[in-house]
Amino acid sequence: MLIRKLSQLANREGPFSIDGVKPLEVDGQDEIGRLCRLIHKVVVAARRDHFEANQLRRTLDHRISKATHLATKKLQQMTMRDPLTDLGNRRFLEENLPQLVRSVLESETDLSCVMIDMDNFKQINDSLGHASGDKLLIALSELIAASTRSEDYAVRLGGDEFAILMAACKPLQAYRFAEQLQVLFRQRIRSILPDQYDVDLSMGIASMRQNGVRDGYLLLEKADAKLYAAKHAGKGRIVGFPPSNSPHAAVA
């Protein structure tokens, strides 16, 4: 009987439970009885350790899974941010533009796009080096981040080109934003560049309603065409629905 019972306990036959470990069915105060009770204590302790180890493993598995999920989410967020300016990048735009457009169409509001390009940026990189160019990009991105609303999408498309998507924003409001950004940028660069360097911002503005589009990428194309017109008109200009009294207005 002793051998059979020990074999059952060793093989963990039956459901696992510390409370389910019953004393060996051997009574008595002789040596065998004492041996049975001692073995019972050893088995209970071993199975308790096994149970606690399983609990610890499940806890660790949960924590590892949670940490992995958070790390993966953070990595995904990092892949959608521009490392230099911390603004959204093209992947961020691709991931969020369709949803933004759907939201605007469903709410029957407007979506304005401000396309931005830095004038004579290549000259700065060629003359003063890429470190100076990076300072300009960072300065502009800081001004954009400080000037936009929390619901706006600010994106660095690449190089010195940026796009701002402003939901529930009329073209005139977007134009006022562009004017303010241009003024702030002109003030900021004076502390970064020597006076002989002429760096400014050219901007193009389009909106879904004013331009009659219902697609986000078409809106970007319209704003980019306005930006090209601003460059062609002499740089340092804003093209797209300007008020009549704007000194740098250029209509395309």
Q: Name the residues annotated as catalytic.
A: 160
Phi, psi of 156 (to 5 degrees): -95, 115
Q: Using CA of residue 123, residue 129, residue 130, residue 131, what is the dihedral sign?
A: negative
Cβ neighbours of 52 (radius 10 Å): 11
CA quadruple 99, 101, 106, 109: dihedral, nearest 10 = 140
Picking from 20, 79, 81, 84, the residue whose alpha carbon sits closest to that of residue 47 is 20
| Angstrom distances, CA of residue 109 to CA of 100, 177, 200 | 11, 18, 32
DSSP 8-state symbol, 243: -
Element housing 173 (H / E): helix 171-189
| Angstrom distances, CA of residue 155 to CA of 15, 80, 87, 163, 206 | 59, 10, 5, 5, 16
156 contacts 134 by C-beta, under 8 angstroms? no
**Bridge partners for 206 per DSSP:** 113
